[in-house]
Structure 1
């Protein structure tokens, strides 16, 4: 019984997918940047329906406080060593992007289960970023990585290098070998990954920058250290912009000129290959969906999948013979699709632990500031820094996954000072968010509902749009339709009432948060959630009855 896979398979904030198969189970790891827990891990049995099941970094392995977005945890590479039956995760911790130095520390961790416990991180060096591990059939192991070029007069962003590793003893073997700067004229070769088939080592790269010219390209060699011959098409094997593009030496750019007006899917690139248990081949890759009529992508970079075949010359290509990524893909032969994954979200906070999809910018989640134990049946959030902070904002959020959705919560909060607040928000990063919050109003003499907005670092307070909330209990609702958001409140089951104007929230997107001309300002995506602030004495807290995001 055949089925069709609908893209994106993971909608909203799920970039840089790395896919593997272990028996009949499929796993994808994606980047999380400045968010905790870090490295999202998804599971599927049919390639069509995916569920977030865990995180790779969740036990104090990294400190992301102070991170300038979009730095943080980049491009995790998930692999499985058949010989030792161990899962491996290689990743970059991007620490600095100023001066285009791109200082990253690279690590690998391993575990016997996809759920861990994961080993202590093994340092892989700071030569560049996007490391991956290849486990050869002879028991040898290799790391590939982008060697980031900083010197004037040299082609940027640099070379792809390969080095043998002794994973058992956490040591490098021999010297790193520079093998290529890419296989097409798109440039910006990064995210190297090695696969082996019929005696060839295939080197798969992301290319063209992570904007509208993005793509996946490929070369091959009989020797793992090369020389590698390029795919004879001299073009990407996956892209949303199939026209010829020359951008060698351009280290990374938005390439808005490469926008494809005939495609819903844009920015297709950074791919990872898997052979199914049915003997078929697929590639998981990142993609974006701009708001109609714009080049703004509030959902950030998402994960898609395409069916692939090997041609007679031994090169991988899309099953339809093109290199244009599509919004649908044929499912696996002889496999029944599972229950359709729902991407709405709801947590009633009835369990000791909260939903795995909850994420927090910059700081770690821990029971000192967020828990369900202090008031059972509620999520209690203790306020701390303002949402402008990159240190300790108290936010619990999930990734937006549709253009039309509603957010809803109910909370109780009793502030004593105007710098204490709690409520619901739409959040991109510390400089860009929309926040409907309860706070103490001295002019109204008590707890009041008001609205704050941050836009490229500017604080905007809607001082004429506020409502007195006498008992400190209010239900809040955001209704978002294609980048336009209305805010509603409800007191004691009365009718919903709108507060404030209709807000243009389209700027809460990768392209809307700043960035120099021709560049994309961010590489993450819109989050929706609840939180609290206490810039007074760090003593106040709010109790939330539930939080839900309903996609339309």
Structure 2
């Protein structure tokens, strides 16, 4: 029997934050946040904690989730996946407003008999704060815990503590008193709660310090569910805030799982700043050419650490200290690998290939079709890049610091208001776009549109000296090559070699940290296919395949 001896971090590379982990028999599942991307919530499966495969995105229909109008980095925050009473329970937040004094964060519950579903229509829970978690106590009662938002306070004081209220399965609603059970430490911004029952104690794991470079995971405990909770004398179980040299930064927002052999593991979010920016000081970037901040295009990823948790004591990282490591000792379980993801994606009628998502809308038929032209993905040009309502963009996560991506597009634009092509995307103020469009007289052209996060201008630039003229009809191959901080676009006509367009773009701008206006950013870089038609005619573009390969 082959066994893994070491787990390499991150276990879920690319945009996969806020992990919630559960074991059901020999199977482990992790749910992560998807924010404005549709369908909602990613669930990965493993049997050895080292190898993982995406198995489900459970929020697939309007009754469960409608993100139209949600802001960038709003939408689905911090899901919690548990298993009890023979079924899966999934709690999630839909954040409708995230900037300013208030947050509109609505919390819901769906259930399913298996990880593949069918997932129920949602039960509305509350809107008092985000990061909800469902705790199944030993006596069978169920409790919702979430952070509470206090708009009266300033700064970190708006995070008003962790509140607890009973959930009635029979009535499908919260019942009884709302109690504030833990107000956190002086590190503030206390959120991301998970409760555990062990050795006669209630253990409360929270995230603190904000989801930037001061992020941390903090443990507290109490003999009574409602407290008072005593904070771990060490304070933080996990953080990279005092270790700028560590590979895994922004470590926090964690959850704990026990293997069938009694070993404990902690999953947590993290990020990997680009090597070229690793020595920089953390901070807000005002312009893309400033060298005062670290940049993490892959966004917040999921990593794992082994824990030592003696009975009645606070848990500790097995390797000592509180800084996460790039590798972790594997559990005493048989190795379980999955088939590697193919580099080339072809399109067929039916469902979209699992690596891909789109933005916000439950009405996917208005945005794309796999049936209109068998063998192609047809995107219907809709609103402009960055639309919060009707945006035809289908993309996959960037999961590697360096990669190459290619597609082939068949598109006949009639006006410069129609454009479609290959896009490296973070949000409406951070993207690089190689687009087929039309000139003033209707001639088909190739251009580059770039919005490199240069707050406060928020300007789109066109870095090519002049558009490239294309034949009036026929497919065009589009490609990009990303290497850390840089992106270069290329194209090829049928039967011809690739032509580099001769411009180097700042890929580090396609990251959480790059400044783009009010608020913070919580997702990660994607690469994919897009079609836009600001004339309102819905002119379509057909994409014949898509390739993604690490370099």
Q: TM-score, normalised by structure 2?
A: 0.92
* Alignment match of 1:69 (pick from 72, 75, 82): 72
Deviation at 1:110, TM superposition (A): 0.9
- What residue is the counterpart of 1:498 in the other structure? 500
* 1:3–1:337 contact (8 Å) kept in structure 2: no
- What residue is the counterpart of 2:89 in the other structure? 88
Q: Deviations over 1:312-360 (max 9, x none)?
A: 6521111123211111011111x23233675675311135222122111
- What residue is the counterpart of 1:299 in the other structure? 298
- What residue is the counterpart of 1:386 in the other structure? 384
- What residue is the counterpart of 1:474 in the other structure? 476
Q: Deviations over 1:500-521 (max 9, x none)?
A: 41111211111113256xxx73
- What residue is the counterpart of 1:453 in the other structure? 450
Q: Deviations over 1:267-301 (max 9, x none)?
A: 11000110111211101100000011321111110
Secondary structure of 2:100's aligned partner = helix
Secondary structure of 1:236's aligned partner = strand
Secondary structure of 1:337's aligned partner = coil
Q: Deviations over 1:227-272 (max 9, x none)?
A: 1111122x2111112x4xxxxxxxxxxxxxxxx3321110110001
Partner Cα separation in structure 1 for residue 320 and residue 33 of structure 2: 30
Secondary structure of 2:170's aligned partner = coil
The alignment yields a C-alpha RMSD, in angstroms, of 1.8
Deviation at 1:481, TM superposition (A): 0.5
Say if 1:538 and 1:41 are closer, same or farther in 2 by CA, change over 3 A.
farther
- What residue is the counterpart of 2:163 in the other structure? 161
* 1:455–1:513 contact (8 Å) kept in structure 2: no
* Alignment match of 2:417 (pick from 419, 424, 433): 419
Tell me how many residue pairs correspond in the alignment.
526
Q: Which has the larger displacement, 464-473 or 147-156?
A: 147-156
In the TM superposition, structure 1's runs of 4+ consecutive aligned residues that sit over 6 Å from their partners are none
Structure 1: tracts of 5 or more residues without a match: 244-259
Partner Cα separation in structure 1 for residue 12 and residue 543 of structure 2: 27
- What residue is the counterpart of 1:523 in the other structure? 522
Partner Cα separation in structure 1 for residue 153 and residue 539 of structure 2: 52
Partner Cα separation in structure 2 for residue 65 and residue 93 of structure 1: 11
Partner Cα separation in structure 1 for residue 433 and residue 22 of structure 2: 39
* 1:465–1:500 contact (8 Å) kept in structure 2: no
* 1:6–1:328 contact (8 Å) kept in structure 2: yes
Say if 1:321 and 1:532 are closer, same or farther in 2 by CA, change over 3 A.
same
Partner Cα separation in structure 1 for residue 214 and residue 464 of structure 2: 43
Q: Which has the larger displacement, 151-160 or 450-459?
A: 151-160
Secondary structure of 2:305's aligned partner = strand
Deviation at 1:365, TM superposition (A): 5.6
Structure 2: tracts of 5 or more residues without a match: 278-293
Superposed counterparts of 1:22-421, under 5 Å: 22-60=24-62, 61-81=64-84, 84-152=85-153, 155-182=157-184, 184-233=185-234, 235-241=235-241, 243=242, 260-294=243-277, 295-311=294-310, 313-333=312-332, 335-339=333-337, 342=340, 345-364=343-362, 366-421=364-419
Q: TM-score, normalised by structure 1?
A: 0.92
Secondary structure of 2:461's aligned partner = strand
* 1:343–1:551 contact (8 Å) kept in structure 2: no
